[in-house]
Structure formats: C-alpha cells, structure tokens
Structure 1
Amino acid sequence: MVSRNTLAGLWTFDTTTDRGPHDAELRTADAGWLTEAYADRLRARRPQPVTDAQWQQWIGQRAHTTVAVKKSEDAARPPDTDTEAWRQWTVTVTPSGRDGWKGEPVVVTAYVHLTRTAVGTSWWVADVTVR
C-alpha cells in the first residue's frame, strides 16, 4: 500500500495550484511514506521551470490528474529479504480539464525500492525509478 500511495502522490497534479511536478514531490515527501533520505532528496531538488509542451497544455486546460496504479511483474527483480523489497507498477496518469477536456493518458513503469528495519515493522519507500 505504501508504494501505491507514493506513486499516486508523485503523479497527482493540479495545474491551478501546482507550479510544476515538484510540488507533488514535496507533498509526497511530507506524507510520511518515504525514508528520511529519500524524502530529503525530493525536498532538496531545485524545481526547474516547467516549459515542456505537455505541462503548458495542461495549464491551458486548467487540468488536474487522475492516477491509476496497477501492479506489474518484473521477472528480473531481486528476491525480497526481511528488510528489502522491490515492486514494479504501471502508473497511468490521465489529465482532465475543468471544462470537460480529457488529455491523452501518460503511462510509465515505476520501480519502487522498499525498506524496513525488521520483520513486523512498517515498510518505507527508499527510492522510485521511472522508465
């Protein structure tokens, strides 16, 4: 559940309030699902001006996103241990405008590295890699 929530948080945008994707990273860093080191890395990133055509189109449509996260299998993933696990997810991000506009979904594959201190303790997201 922690990996699914993290991925949904990282791709939930509202262009009427968010200056760019970095705002979603900050919200996710503050949500309590990440290791301190990963949360600190997200917070320390310098937000870049968002000039790509997709984000600009979303701004023009006053878009927000709906995020669907579906577990997918990775035959090459390392075996789980008591304190580390890796999960692969397909993340589908669908932008919708305030005026009924629907944008093309964006689909990415995300690999989540989970860690915990001992069996029976909570899992934390230590890293997310997107392909």
Structure 2
Amino acid sequence: MPLPESLRATPRGNASPPDTIDHTDADAVGRGVLTMMWTFDTTSDTAPFDASVRAAQTGWLTEAYAALLRTHRPRAVPGAQWQEWASHRAHTTVTLHKAEDAAKPADTATEAWRQWVVTATPHGRDHWTAEPVTALAYVRLIRKDTGTAWLVDRVLTR
C-alpha cells in the first residue's frame, strides 16, 4: 500500500532531496533532517507531525528513531496556529543557524552532537506571511565507523 501524499519523502519548501546530501558530513545530515522536519505544507499535511514522518522515510535516521517517528501519534489535534496557516494554504521555509554550546560533547568517530536554531516561516498561497516559529534543536548523530554515513538518532527541541 503506497504512503499517503502527506507522508511521502517529497521535499517541500526548501528541504533538500535525500540523495543530494553528503551523508559522511554530520552537519549536512543534521541540517537536512531538521529542514525536512520543519518543512510543512498545509495543503497536503494534516498536521506538523507529518513532516517528521516524511523525514523517517529518507534513510537519514537510525531505524529505531525512524520507527519511533512513524508509530508515534500526537495526542492532540493541530491547534489554532495550524488552522490559521491552513486557512492561508501555507507552507514553510526553514532557516538554520548553528548554535554550538561549549558544553556539548566532543565529536568521536561514531557520535556527534549538533545544536541549531531552527526558524520556520509560514507563507500562504494568498501572499500572506506570518511571524516565524523558532526552536532550539539538539541533534545526536551516530555512525558505524569513520567514513560511513551519519544517521540522526535523536532530535530534542526546546
């Protein structure tokens, strides 16, 4: 059974297609995953969570984290903000700025942590633009060995 349109790993906004990312670069993988997870399109997504499920389909995540995202369902329906965006048939564009913390663990050959300020700006198809939404995201990446692909194992946001 094919995935519904809202859950396909099709980039929207300014998300990069998975095959254009250098998977041996932890920054590039972290940037790609966060951009996809915050790129929403209210004309095809039923809620912001659909973007995380799309990211789970890319191969950029560990299987355990991808499975968690695919099976987790939010307890609440989208709120007033999503409804406002939907009334304008909005999609988001995402910008990321590294916000490295001196206290973060040092990279090893098989683990890296990245910290980003994520800003998602909704743009309506009726030329409406809302205030951006901003979050701080901590990304844990792992890989089997030097030179192999980095995979996102966890994303924590505040």
What TM-score range do you get, normalising by the shorter chain?
A: over 0.9
Q: Which residue type is aligned with residue 113 of structure 2?
A: W
| Structure 1 unaligned regions, length at least 5 | none
1:78 equivalenced with 2:108 (yes/no): no
Post-superposition shift, 1:49? 4.5
Deviation at 1:107, TM superposition (A): 0.9
* Residues 80-131 of structure 1, C-alpha deviations (whole Å, 9 max, x = no match): 1111010001111000001100000011110000000111111110000001
Deviation of 1:51 after TM superposition, in Å, equals 3.6
Q: Is 2:139 the counterpart of 1:121?
A: no
Aligned with residue 105 of structure 1, among 132, 138, 151: 132
SS in 2 for 1:37: helix
Q: CA deviation at 1:50?
A: 2.6
2:93 equivalent to 1:66: yes
Aligned residues: percent identity?
A: 58
Q: Could you list the structure 1 runs, at least 4 aligned residues long, displaced by more than 6 angstroms after superposition.
A: none
Gaps of 5+ in 2: 1-27
Count of aligned pairs: 131
2:65 aligned with 1:35: no
Rounded to whole Å, the distance in 1 between the matches of 2:148 and 2:94 is 28
TM-score, normalisation: structure 2: 0.80
Q: TM-score, normalised by structure 1?
A: 0.96
Alpha-carbon distance in 2 for matches of 1:36, 1:129: 17
Matched position secondary structure for 2:114: strand
- The equivalent of 1:11 in structure 2 is 38
Deviation at 1:48, TM superposition (A): 4.0
Give yes or no for the alignment of 1:25 onto 2:21: no
* Secondary structure, counterpart of 1:111 in structure 2: strand
- Matched with 1:56 is 83
1:25 is displaced (CA, Å) by 1.1
CA RMSD of aligned residues (A): 1.0
1:79 shift after superposition: 1.2
Cα distance in 2, alignment partners of residues 48 and 100 from structure 1:
32
Q: Which residue of 1 aligns with 2:73?
A: 46
CA contact (8 A) 2:47 2:78 kept: no
Give the SS at the match of 1:79: coil
In 2: Cα distance, 1:20 partner to 1:114 partner = 26
